[in-house]
Amino acid sequence: MRLSQQMEYGMDDIDRRLIAELQRDASASYATLAAAVGLSTASAHDRVRKLKERGIIRRTTVEVDPAALGRGVLSYVLIDANAWMGDASTGDALAALPEVEEAHIIAGAGTLLVKVRTATTQDLQGVLRRLYEVPGVASTQSIVVLETFFERPVSPTA
């Protein structure tokens, strides 16, 4: 076992560059992908296959313009609870709301933090009403995003 920077995932620098390329354009051919990292097509294919097998690459997906889907307004909602909300049932109840994109349990003042995308601020109002129907929700505090500088994938570079 050799020394590792944080934990042993068996990732070397070529793997990180492969991930960076795939994050940029997962539709690129294995030939161009291999050329970008200085490997043969077969080797690049091997490495990407292993990254998927190990669960490091979870899936290949598409990034969509939220406004085109009627989700042009981004908000974050802090939730205070009057009961324990750490069980899976809470996650299921939040996942049932299609406008909720992320749901986290947090440390500090509040209890929950959810990321919400709606068409309008009126629709955010509707989501808040449905949030109050989730067991344990005592109060909410909404943060509406006026402008987004950037949203990008996890950086593979240290």
Q: Is 1 in the site for a copy of itself (CB under 8 A)?
A: no
Tokens 């070397």 belong to residue: 12
Closest CA to 39 of 66, 15, 8, 11: 15
First to last CA, the chain: 21
Stretch that binds a copy of itself, among 34-42, 115-123, 131-139 (CB under 8 A): 115-123
41 binding DNA? (CB under 7 A): yes
The residues near 47 (Cβ < 8 Å, ≥ 6 apart) are 14, 15, 18, 39
User: Which position among 31, 106, 143, 144 is part of the footprint of DNA (CB under 7 A)?
Assistant: 31
| Cα–Cα dist 32/18, whole Å | 11
Asked if residue 64 binds a copy of itself (CB under 8 A), the reply is yes
Binding site for a copy of itself (CB under 8 A): 5-7, 9, 11, 16, 19, 22-27, 54-71, 74, 76, 86, 90-91, 94-95, 98-99, 101-108, 110, 113, 117, 119-120, 142-158
